[in-house]
Structure 1
Amino acid sequence: MNAVEIEEAVSELVGAPFDATEFPFAFLQAFGMKETTIKRLRKGDSNASDVAGGVLQRNNIHIATCAVGAVDATFQALRHSPKTISARAKFILATDGQTVAAEDLISGETIAPDYPKLAEHFAFFLPLAGISTVKEIRNNPVDVKATGRLNKLYLELLKDNPDWALDARRPALNQLMARLIFCFFAEDTGIFLPQLFTRTIEQMSDSRSGNTHEVLAELFRAMDTPPAQRAAGRFRPWADQFPYVNGGLFTDATDVPRFSRLARSYLLRAGELNWQEINPDIFGSMIQAVADDAERGALGMHYTSVPNILKVLNPLFLDDLRDQLAAAADNTRKLRNLRRRLARIRVFDPACGSGNFLVIAYKEMRAIEHQIIRRTGDAPKSVIRLENFFGIEIKNFAVEIARLALLIAEFQADCVYISQHEARAMVLPLHRTGQIHAGNALRMNWLEVCPPPAKTLVVEQDLAGPTGRLALEDNGLADSGEVETYICGNPPYLGSTWQSAEQKADIELIFGKISNLWKSLDYVCGWLFKSAQYGANSTSRAALVATNSICQGQQVSILWPLINNYDQKIIFAYTSFKWANLASQNAGVTVIIIGISGPNYRGKKKIFYTSETGEPASKEAENINPYLYPGPDIIVKPKFIPQGTLHSMEWGNKPTDGGHLILSSMEKNRFLEHHSHATKFVRRYVGSQELIKGTLRWCLWITDENRDEALSYSLISDRVRRVMDYRANSSSADTRPTAAFPHRFRQIQNTAGEFQILVSGVSSESRDYLPCDLFSRNTIASNKVFCLYDAPLWNMSLVASRLHLVWIATVCVRMRTDFSYSNTLGWNTFPVPKLTEQNKADLTRCAENILLVREGHFPATIAELYDPEKMPDDLRRAHDENDEVLERIYIGRRFRNDTERLEKLFDLYTKMTADTPRPTKKTKGSSAA
């Protein structure tokens, strides 16, 4: 269940007569508990409660109902219950149907509302449904409630007016929702008379005659007509009392869909909420899902947290403003100069959605301006104009909501920093709100959307005359200072595999003429590149949230030279972290934040990261390279032959068989019990999971020479036939021809050696070393591992070193934050000094020692041995010795930290590749993952 559905379910529960016996089960159902779970609790099979009237769900909640007046005693019984502790309950809740007492046992937070008001605290319990909460949602549930009310109304209108669901009319329906939101907000904040809109609908519309659409049309027409044009009798008296709104919000609003009796009730129910409490940076993001059929399942969970947004905005420009404010102290001249600067700042989000970044930027700038006003005693009316906030958004409804969110944010700020009376006097008629444009940002000219002005505009541009807002001339704040533009946002990421045909066309349009590798780029690269283009033609900086893959692997060598061509450099960066919405079961995508600027940037460059203790940390850098590492702008390009004397590394063998050539241990044993002479057709099969976890799998390994003998066994012939069918019916044109040899793997690399060193293709970031191991020639390596066939053992010493892990972690692609190995980018480029025979002998001894220590812990797997919390001391010592020997070859001592390791590796890489021509042909079996 999503947050909106939960709020509605809890509201229905407390609205019904209290049933002490049923309450615990109904409460759990409201949070999405499965029916089978509820049945087991009812039967008592899984209910271990030791409190009278109690229901205990392990790892979740201990609930108890009680007699009237006994809530406190029951609550204490739950708190001190041994079962509450042993079952690891996260919450306790006691109620008598009149009052409630509950506690979050993890945070220690408690609530004690009257029973009918329990629904107002639904967000307190959202972790029961696997939904993480944020402070803003828990403290202000009206955003979720409003989303739910409007969603029901929206769906009912679509049901009653199917023609409005068509693409041609959907934008009009979306705009209707924006108008309703404004009216609800206006009547609860004093912009209109209290409850004017809802009361008028209730009194003047009739559910039986179905005239709600006519009443709304008349109201909207009145709100779009200036007082001077309101001739006597032109409007019905109940419509004429509505003020002129302007701002384009009610233009051409005479066409309104019909409202059924149910739709009208949903409309009135939405009006019952206190819309004054709406938080625009939360509500806008969630309400966006109402109009999106694909996103409605996550209704109420579309929320970008303020702390994450500030990770973008603070280092981009807000921290600089705050530093200037602190430095100004009480110096009036400096403070007024800072206020002038605020008036010249423009914020531009080219993927703005419902305007979260713009709203937060506006609110933070107003807070800074308020501090200036307090110190100078100047007039409190703001010089920060909404027309300095620009956006591009492809979804029409989100555009409307973004404009409305900015308007609400401005009004709320005026109420706080000026006064409610003056805020109400200034808000109507609406002046120009944020300049949010509908369209595809990758196909629009940003210099036209947010044109670099020749000078600061000092007179407010209003659609219908003065609004009472402060012109910059007031208090002598106008000057000819340069306008600052800050690009920010969280564009869609989408790796190349997941892009639609239209999105691929967008990327080709941008990169197709300048790079033949554009197909490998993530969708977000388009926004970063256009930000660089914009920066080359304006005074601007940009900071975007992006997938970490654009600073890893092959994309670095494709994208960043193009960015640098516009003389744009990285000025700050957040290394990989999770960017998630409200749903904790959605782990979120792993992202980075990158800030770029032109050569005029004079500030300190910073890298923000998570320290080894898990705390946020930062460090300054002279330069930040595309790998988000403090150092020169070095770009590692794929190599198809190894550096120096490194042994050649290849992919494993690729079956493309639909699983029919692969056997479990049970299948293998059953086959060989009946056909002991068929042993030669069965080989051990090792991929990443088998290498790391030690699981056993097997494969049928059949050569052309022994094919006829192998097919004489029915199990083999049946499986080979299935492989042939699978390949012949494949959607891949490259796979279908391989149906001609279904008895063998589609791609066979090398099986002629005596032994092979296998390296896992993917590995957890939690390990201190990359998983690798030594296998005999009889083992068949899958395409999930990389192989060093018959390589001298000192090569394994390199793979198993901290140095190599640091290199792989920096230059190769990551799967989220886990390591994804690459031979062409990670092994072939690995910088190794010239090794003497003695060096090789020492490294061989170290590798042998690691293998011997592992053998001594048999049958422990690599996953068990390399668990950072449980790694055996002797194995850690063996790796320490390996690192000691290898690092002394590099610099004559151990490196102090990973930063120093990377400095040396990049330095060596630069020297080794200075005169190396780039190969033009890819060799068989190589990978540029």
Structure 2
Amino acid sequence: MLTPTEIYDNVEALASKRPEGAEFGLELMEAVGAPRATITRLREEAASGTFNWTRMLRFEAVGQGDAGPALDRMRIDAEGRPKAKRPRILLAYDGEVVAVRDTKIGDEQRVGLDALAYEADILFPLGGHERHVPDPERLADVRATKHLSRLFDAVRDANPGWNTSRDRHALNVFMARLLFCLFSDDVGIFDKDAFETAVQQSTRPDGSDLKEFLEGAFDHMDTDPSAGPRPARGWSKLPYVNGSLFTEVSPVPTLDGRCRRHLLDCARLDWRDINPDIFGSMLQGVVDTEKRGELGMHYTSPSNIMKVLRPILLDDLNAELDRAGANKERLRAFLKRLANVRVFDPACGSGNFLIIAYKTLREMEMEAFKRLGELPHDVVTLDGFFGLEIDDFACQTARLGLWIAQYQMDELFRKELGRTRPFLPLSQAGRITHGNAAMDDWLIACPAKAGSETVLVGNPPFKGSKHTSPAQREDMKAVFSGRVPNSGELDYVAIWFLRGADYAKATGTPFALVSTNSIVQGASVSTLWPHLLDGLVIRFAHRSFKWSNLASKNAGVTCVIVGLGAATQATKGLYDGDTVRQVDLIGPYLAPNVTTIVSKRSRPVAPDLGQMVFGNMPNNGEALLLDRGERDDLLHAHPEAARFVRRLYGSQELMKGIERWCLWVRPEEVAVARAIIPLEERFQRVRELRLASTRSQSVRLAEVPWAFDPQNEAASHTIMVPRVSSENRIWLPVDVMDETAIVHDRLFALYDGEIWQAAVLSSRLHRLWLETVGGRLKEDPSYSNQLVWNTFPLPGLTDHRKAELEEHWWEIDRARKEAGFGRTLGDLYVPKTMPADLRRAHEDLDATVEKIFGARRYRSDADRIEHLLQLYEAAIEGKGGR
């Protein structure tokens, strides 16, 4: 059996040979690895131009232009047979075009011979390979993206000098115009296949006149027939479009025969099944080659978009429609309100939010007219949808997606209510502005309008503070400088929250944005939220959840949704998974009924907690570090150096069991250590590196090249806390090591800390506190001694409680040791494979810790965080200062 790669290569070679008639079918069988005996047996039958490989392939060679009709006839014939007797693959070939259908999956392709190699996976069943295909509702979108990508590449290759931003804009406009024509050809906006036929019949196969032809076609579709007679070349059957799609004076790129072939391949697709909700997002993969690996499947799921739209707008509209019932006066009032709704997305991308909002509002409009029993008139129009987007092609596709959505909803109105508005000439496709939402004036992009009901929604960029581009850092500086101190810790998405708050205060518009959960955790809260809550309240929020899309390699990002607006008397909806809790207020940590903000503290607020410090930093002292091999070589040559070699622990060493060592020299031992030549050589390297450093502290430490910064060690034991821990873990893996262990700066340390404190650190309540008030490194919680440990509101403990906690720690330690042979600390805390005994030990600890925090019974993690924040608030009121 041939491999898929071999099949792809063989089909590509076959297409380049271009065999005629049934010989193509026989050679195709050979290309996919069919048995030679079967090919020989079918050769006589194939002389007639058709043959049938039982239950595998039905092949017909037909006249030029007849491949599509022949496949339609073969499909009807096959569907009239029992499934067990249908050929798996139907294929018609006219010498130029291959029309092929997989009868099991229902997948179909009609492509030029040059493009067949790209779609060879449809032939895999003939070679014994089952296919992986997207869900049926996504198949057309994925296929469209693949074909458009090849067309785009062909056009780009034919125009190697098009490198300026003006050229790229022209190419984006060109692609958007083609996309509209391709869609219109199949759905009834144009006469059936009018555009495809015009290109096929009115341009040369070498594409030498295609550029001129399309220039004329685009101009023709922008010319109002009332202005006078229009030229009658091959595009005469194309209608007047208007809507600004063809108005802009934009050059058409140079085109060749390859471009023409790929354009016709695109035209042969059935564009009726394209989903406008995600169309634009997929098409960004056409012009962004870095996204090609996703085959156009990278888009946000509509269900997640509805998590934003429902609470901010749709739930209230649905409730009003429900109250209206069949009351005509109320229904007309509802339609009047609907006509005044506007949706603004200042990070609109390809228009996903706007398209889904538009379609949902049109569905409500249709339901109201059904209840009225009246013919519809214009209520929800594209004029009410505003977007601001920095990517030029995304702007083009957002407009296109809105037009497609309008056409599809108009067709639904026609079927349901018997009447709709004329689709052509086009109206304006929303108000999509090309610009930088971080810097441009939102009041220009979506001006305030008396009597309107505007909502601001979106899914802004998620770039973390350490992953922003230079241009984005300039944006952040311009927005936050002089207004938000310490803004360097904020993620890029914070710009949209601050500007959204400004827009809300200026216009009364509520807004709801998606963000990584960093916006409601750690230092971001104390830095940003006092500015957001100045005059606004959180009206609803979704606590942390996976904001997944349908990309093939999607891992999902942990996100929140926060909706803000002016204060109201209404209760606030706090969503947690599939449940919603109605509360009086929501705080910036998305906890109910508490607005306190946790700030860094120099000492613990809890009376019994010890001082946690950073580990020891090499500070250009990497020569003080040794791996296992270096350590062994040193001790083999100089056994007397053993007293200076200590085991070193950082986060990786603690969690993954990696062996690392270091040179550890106390001040009184320096002379002895320097007498050992390899050690002195290492000290000299440290000294040179520190002297060469641009950091003043490193230069000062050059005089003590044997020392870490600081040089802390324990007398009996050290409680070690990783600075970063996987987001998937239920508990924070901490450990206790003896006095010989040295702590690297990638850990926090409680030197000679009381053992019961290790139990507190290991509790679920403390892990929740970390996830709430701590920062993030990528998606993983990042520990902070000042922001997590020092603020943890542990109640005062009796000696009995301390002893009880210490016993829990030793139970955890025992369970680890018994289950841990060959398993690292990190392995033991993977939730799916966590040893049952270790899990029980933690759960027993949690029960005790929750008793310590009071008798209230927690219903959820949100309830736990609410209580912790209340205790913190009470603690700092009692402490006063830091």
| CA shift digits 1:643-693 (9 cap, x unpaired) | 134211011122355965443434433432333221122111112233334
Q: State the match for 1:600 in structure 2.
A: 568
Task: Find the counterpart in structure 1 of residue 772 from structure 2.
Answer: 810
Q: Which residue of 1 aligns with 2:613?
A: 650
Asked if 2 retains the 8 angstrom alpha-carbon contact of 1:381 and 1:418, the reply is: no
SS at match of 2:541: strand
Aligned to 2:343: 347
Q: In terms of mean alpha carbon deviation, does 15-24 or 157-166 score higher?
A: 15-24
The residue type equivalent to 1:795 in the other structure is Q
Contact kept? 1:123, 1:141, Cα under 8 Å: no
CA distance in 1, matches of 2:33, 2:696: 58
Residue aligning to 1:682: 645
Correspondence 1:99 to 2:108: no
Instruction: Compare 720-729 and 299-308 and name the one that shifted more.
Output: 720-729
Amino acid at match of 1:340: K
The residue aligned with 1:285 is: 281
Using the size of structure 2 for normalisation, the TM-score is 0.82
Amino acid in structure 2 at the alignment position of 1:262:
R
Instruction: Decide whether the 8 Å contact of 2:626 with 2:661 is kept in 1.
Output: yes
Q: Which stretch shifts more, 586-595 or 904-913?
A: 586-595
- Paired with 1:19 and 1:214, the residues of 2 have a C-alpha distance of 37
- In the alignment, residue 341 of structure 1 is paired with which amino acid? R
Partner letter of residue 111 of structure 1?
A: K
**Residue 168 (structure 1) aligned with residue 166 (structure 2):** yes
Instruction: Please state whether the residue corresponding to 1:496 is helix, strand or coil.
Output: coil
Partner of 1:215: 213
Task: Tell me the SS of whatever aligns to 1:169.
Answer: helix
Residues 158/521 of structure 1: CA separation in 2 closer, same or farther (3 Å cut): same
Residues 1:321 and 1:771: Cα distance change in structure 2 (over 3 Å): same
Cα distance in 2, alignment partners of residues 556 and 810 from structure 1: 10
C-alpha displacement at 1:546, in angstroms? 0.6
User: Using a 3 Å threshold, how does the CA distance of structure 1 residues 382 and 161 change in structure 2: closer, same or farther?
Assistant: same
Shift of 1:918: 4.9
Tell me, yes or no, if structure 1 residue 260 matches structure 2 residue 256. Answer: yes
Aligned equivalents of 2:84 and 2:639: distance in 1? 69
2:717/2:751 contact within 8 Å kept:
yes
Q: How far apart are residue 809 of structure 1 and its match? A: 2.3
The answer to whether residue 36 in structure 2 is matched with residue 68 in structure 1 is no
> Residue 593 of structure 1: SS of its match in structure 2?
strand
The answer to whether residue 434 in structure 2 is matched with residue 438 in structure 1 is yes
Do the aligned residues in 2 keep the contact of 1:380 with 1:418 (CA within 8 Å)? no
Match in the other structure for 2:497: 528
**For the residues of structure 1 that align with 2:333 and 2:184, how far apart are their CA atoms?**
35
Query: 1:578–1:587: 8 Å Cα contact kept in structure 2?
Result: no
Does the Cα contact within 8 Å between 1:570 and 1:626 map onto a contact in 2?
no
- Say which SS state the counterpart of residue 432 (structure 2) adopts: strand
2:749 corresponds to which residue? 787
CA contact (8 A) 1:399 1:437 kept: yes
Match of 1:397 in 2: 393
Distance in 1 (alpha carbons) for counterparts of 2:269 and 2:685 = 62
Go from structure 1 to structure 2 and tell me whether the alpha carbon gap of 1:132 and 1:892 turns closer, same or farther (over 3 Å shift). farther
CA distance in 1, matches of 2:9, 2:454: 46
2:474 aligns with 505
Q: What residue ranges of structure 1 are gaps of 5+ in the alignment?
A: 27-51, 54-66, 73-93, 102-108, 456-482, 610-615, 920-929
Q: Secondary structure at the match of 1:638?
A: coil
> Does the C-alpha gap of structure 1 residues 217 and 854 become closer, same or farther in structure 2, counting only changes over 3 Å?
closer
Taking a change above 3 Å as real, the CA distance of residues 112 and 248 of structure 1, as seen in their structure-2 partners, is closer
Counterpart CA distance in 1 for 2:620 and 2:34 is 48
Matches within 5 A, 1:618-637: 618-637=580-599
Secondary structure of 1:642's counterpart equals coil
Note if 1:370 corresponds to 2:366: yes
- Given that 1:759 and 1:787 are in contact with CA atoms closer than 8 Å, whether structure 2 keeps it comes out as yes
Kindly indicate whether the alpha-carbon contact (under 8 Å) linking 1:504 and 1:519 is maintained by their aligned counterparts in 2.
no
CA distance in 1: counterparts of 2:393 and 2:524, whole angstroms = 33
Structure 1 254/623 Cα, relative in aligned 2: closer, same or farther at 3 Å? closer
Aligned equivalent of 1:471: none
2-side partners of 1:307 and 1:132: how far apart?
A: 24
Q: Choose which of 372, 376, 380 in structure 2 pairs with 1:380.
A: 376
Say which of 534, 545, 548 aligns to 1:579.
Answer: 548
* Paired amino acid for 1:506: D
Q: Aligned ranges for residues 392-791 of structure 1 at < 5 Å?
A: 392-419=388-415, 426-455=422-451, 483-584=452-553, 586-600=554-568, 602=570, 604-609=572-577, 616-643=578-605, 644-655=607-618, 661-702=624-665, 706=669, 710=673, 716=679, 737=699, 740=702, 743-744=705-706, 747-751=709-713, 753-791=715-753
Instruction: Give deviations 1:864-894, integer Å, cap 9, x for gaps.
Output: 5555566666655654554455444432587
**Pair 359,807 (structure 1): closer, same or farther in 2 beyond 3 Å:** same
C-alpha contact 1:100 1:114 (8 A) present in aligned 2? no
Query: 1:185 maps to what in 2?
Result: 183
Contact 1:797-1:846 within 8 A present in 2 as well: yes
Q: Deviation per CA, 1:236-291: give whole Å up to 9, x if none.
A: 44455433222211124463222122222222322222223322222211112323
Report the counterpart of residue 88 of structure 1 in structure 2: none
Other structure's SS at 2:592 match: coil
Partner SS for 1:183: helix
Helix, strand or coil at the partner of 2:53: coil
Contact 2:573–2:580 (8 Å) recurs in 1:
no
**Aligned with 1:245: secondary structure?**
coil
Aligned to 2:247: 251
**Worse-matched range after superposition: 245-254 or 664-673:** 664-673
Cα separation, 2, equivalents of 1:825 and 1:750: 22
Could you report, residue by residue, the CA deviation over 1:463-485 in whole angstroms, capped at 9, with x for unpaired residues?
xxxxxxxxxxxxxxxxxxxx221
SS in 2 for 1:454: coil
Residue identity opposite 1:515 in structure 2: V
Cα distance change on mapping 1:267 and 1:22 into 2, 3 Å: closer
Structure 1 residue 361: Cα displacement? 1.0
SS in 1 for 2:594: coil
1:820 aligns with one of 768, 774, 782: 782
Conserved in 2, the CA contact under 8 Å of 1:99 and 1:114? no
Aligned to 2:227: 229
> Where does 1:42-53 land on structure 2 (aligned, <5 Å)?
none
Most deviating of 748-757 and 351-360: 748-757
Corresponding residue SS for 1:164:
coil
- Kindly indicate whether the alpha-carbon contact (under 8 Å) linking 1:134 and 1:582 is maintained by their aligned counterparts in 2: no
1:318 aligns with 2:314: yes
Which residue of structure 2 lines up, in the alignment, with residue 358 of structure 1?
354
TM-score where L is the length of structure 1: 0.78
Provide closer, same or farther for how the CA distance between residues 313 and 885 of structure 1 changes in structure 2, counting only shifts above 3 A. Answer: closer
- Provide the C-alpha distance between the structure 2 equivalents of 1:866 and 1:294, rounded to a whole number of angstroms: 35
Change in 2 beyond 3 A, CA 1:378/1:601: farther
Q: SS where residue 350 of structure 2 aligns?
A: coil
Gaps of 5+ in 2: 16-23, 40-51, 58-82, 91-101, 111-115
Cα 1:393/1:349, change in 2 over 3 Å: same
Change (3 A) 1:764 1:153: closer
For residues 611-666 of structure 1, give each alpha carbon's deviation from its aligned partner in whole angstroms, at most 9, with x where no partner exists: xxxxx443333322211222211111111222134211011122355965443434
- Separation of aligned partners in 1, 2:416 and 2:330: 29
Partner of 1:414: helix, strand, or coil? Answer: helix
Q: CA RMSD in A?
A: 4.1
Say whether residues 1:801 and 2:799 are aligned partners. Answer: no
Distance (Å, rounded) in 1 between the aligned partners of 2:6 and 2:620: 45
Aligned pair count reads 808
1:849-868 CA-partner distances (Å, limit 9, x unpaired): 54456556665654455555
2:60 maps to none
